[in-house]
Amino acid sequence: MPDFVFPLQIPTPYDLLRRRFRQRWIALVGELIAQRRSHRDEGGRRDLLDLLIAGQRECGAPVEQLADQVATIVVAGHETTAAALCWSLYLMASAPDEQEAVAAEAALVNSDSDGAACAAAQLVRTRAVVDEALRLYPPAFAIVRQALADDLADGIPVPAGSLVMISPWVLHRHRRLWATPEAFNPARFLPGAPEPTRFAHVPFGTGPRVCIGAQFAITVFALTLAIMVRAFRIRLAKPRIVRPTGIVSTQPDDPPPFLTQRREVQSGAAASLCP
């Protein structure tokens, strides 16, 4: 609340704590970058950090900017996907029939490193589960933008400098936009289902400032979920309601423990769809 009440010129105890955390966080990121540079892959394989380092050298950006980029990727690209995956497993554990449907689909595709690109296109049911999980528990529960100039939003005046908050959480559960919005129903996103109205499903935002990693995140999300459900039956250790809480992203108030049971995977079944 102090972030909304006090102007930036007035520091709060939270600002001082954030400053301390940032110093420790950037120092840790710097250590990770140094470790990666000292252990180069002798096989010549390149990763995302290699691309960032090359870009830094080309444009002459300071080292601090590289640390900021890596920190952003870790938080925005890892923490949000991990939270979304936790929610999807919670939903899968609560809907065994949907879980079995995803496992059956995943058993038919080759999701190793060589077949991942092909597998992503074949995981139609899994992608529907991903979209529905992102609808019910969008990692970004609120998106805030500042008006650069006077504007109108659906006839409502928006003075320059105003903060405008868009809440995917509200949009995704709005009864005027969705039938039975509280229900977990991946069929909403299967081929042939009616398309959601524009701006009704915006887990990554929309427009020019849409999340730059949206497609990458969805692909990683779908492949990871398919691999896990194909390998294990997943259920809650103790059935209970897990409530969401907004802390940077939409997180469970008390992360539930899961029980896993290994499935018998049919060898060779995946080769028919993805060589």
Residue-wise pLDDT tens digits, 35-58: 877 776 555 667 778 888 887 777
**pLDDT at residue 273, as a whole number:** 41
**pLDDT at residue 275, as a whole number:** 43
**pLDDT at residue 50, as a whole number:** 81
**pLDDT at residue 274, as a whole number:** 46
Q: Tell me the C-alpha distance between 11 and 30, whole Å.
A: 27
Residue-wise pLDDT tens digits, 201-215: 999 998 888 888 888
**pLDDT at residue 3, as a whole number:** 76
Strand partners, 251: 245
Q: Tell me the C-alpha distance between 150 and 224, whole Å.
A: 44
**pLDDT at residue 103, as a whole number:** 95
* β-bridge pairing 244-247 and 249-252: antiparallel
Tell me, letter by letter, the H, E, C secondary structure of the chain: CHHHHCCCCCCCHHHHHHHHHHHHHHHHHHHHHHHHHHCCCCCCCCCHHHHHHHHHHHHCCCHHHHHHHHHHHHHHHHHHHHHHHHHHHHHHHHCHHHHHHHHHHHCCCCCCCCCHHHHHHHCHHHHHHHHHHHHHCCCCCCEEEECCCCEEECCEEECCCCEEEECHHHHHCCCCCCCCCCCCCHHHHCCCCCCCCCCCCCECECHHHCCCCHHHHHHHHHHHHHHHHHHEEEEECCCCCCCEEEECEEEECCCCCEEEEECCCCCCHHHHCCC
**Among residues 54, 123, 80, 49, which one has the least CA distance to residue 246?**
80
Q: What angle do CA 10, 29, 88 make, to 5 degrees?
A: 90
**pLDDT at residue 121, as a whole number:** 83
**Among residues 163, 120, 114, which one has the least CA distance to residue 8?**
163
Structure tokens at 16: 């001082």
Q: What angle do CA 141, 257, 252 make, to 5 degrees?
A: 15
CB atoms within 10 A of CB 47: 9
Which sequence spans correspond to the domains of the chain? 9-272
pLDDT tens-digit profile, the chain (275 residues):
777 788 878 888 888 898 998 889 888 888 888 887 777 655 566 777 888 888 777 777 777 788 888 888 777 777 888 889 999 999 999 999 999 999 999 998 876 666 677 788 889 999 999 999 999 999 989 998 899 999 998 899 999 999 999 999 999 999 999 999 999 999 999 999 999 998 999 999 988 888 888 888 888 899 999 999 999 999 999 888 899 998 778 989 988 899 999 998 655 444 444 44
Domain boundaries 9-272, CATH class? mainly alpha
CB atoms within 10 A of CB 181: 16
Burial letters 226-241, b for 16+ CB under 10 A, else e: bbbbbebbbbeeeeee
Measured in degrees and rounded to the nearest 5, phi and psi for residue 20 equal -65, -45
**pLDDT at residue 192, as a whole number:** 93
**pLDDT at residue 214, as a whole number:** 87
| Predicted model pTM | 0.80
